[in-house]
Structure 1
Amino acid sequence: MHKFITFLLILFVSLNLFSQDEYFKLPQAKTQKPFYIFNEKIVGNEYLAKSLKPTDDKLNEQVKNVSVLIDKQDRKQNPDYNLSEHGVLLVDLKNKIASKSQFELNEFFGLDKQSEIYIDGYLLENKKFRIALNGITEIEIVEPNSVNGLKSRVLNIWTLAKNERYMENAN
């Protein structure tokens, strides 16, 4: 009986692992914290959400809706799929957020406008996404090498402080 249960456990785990698409990320990608997406197209962070207003009354005046993406579905059904490894919080605000397009950021840093952009080490596959200016903690230009497998220079935009990027037991 113990062997049968072990076999079923291994079967379910392996089916689950092989049924999911892989995440396109850099070797130094974050190992914790969900992504925050504001107004369906702006990538931000927890600090941006907290900066709205601390009281519930004021928060209710600014937030239309909050959703949590739990079901990761697949890459075809979900434009946020590559950001969903640690979860996604979708926040719909009544106010606008200062943001830059991926093209604007690439141009500012002297990269080709079509260059890929990574957020916290995860590829931002959908070009519709903008990046909240208040959500940026660090921007680095990542050079291609044999470890990261990149073909050209890319931007990696951190929305997390350095001490929040990795779990303590992560490599």
Structure 2
Amino acid sequence: MNGWKHRLRPAYGPGTVSGFGDGEQRQRAVVLAAFSVTRDAMVAALMEAVTEVNPGMDVDRLPDTDVRRFVEERAALAGVKGLDEGETWLRSSGQLLTDKQFVLLQACFRAVNRAYPVDAFGTVLLAGSPRRPLLRCTAPRCQWARTEGVLEHLLLEGVEHGRTHGAGDQ
């Protein structure tokens, strides 16, 4: 049995609520969704959002909060399948980009690296195995731990707990 030992990355968002203007009288709830995504999926989402809003935008000058907002809004629109398709497009399109698109792509990589630091880890450690996951906090004097339940629910609890120690943006 292979064991896990990974620290959860900090969570970012939500920074906006989308869709309210689309018939606000019929709104029933605000649904928050969390996606665990790769850097390439975030870069593809940012590039698509920037291209749609303003292809001439100076992405290097975007504040981190705006970078996260663009990525988050695109993730909300695209869903997991769309994020996966964006990542696949990014990996296969390197040869097909114009010089202008390539410059934008490089700026999007820099912006995502800046807004979502690669060295950022939260205080929650995922250990165990898929059948017997264990999440525990490694912050000093914190006794938080979870061992039973559906993995996806445990991961959400871990992300939420990590925020109590300042992981991610709030």
Bigger strand fraction: 1
Instruction: Give the TM-score normalised by structure 2.
Output: 0.23
Say which structure, 1 or 2, has more relative contact order (CA 8 Å, 6+ apart).
2
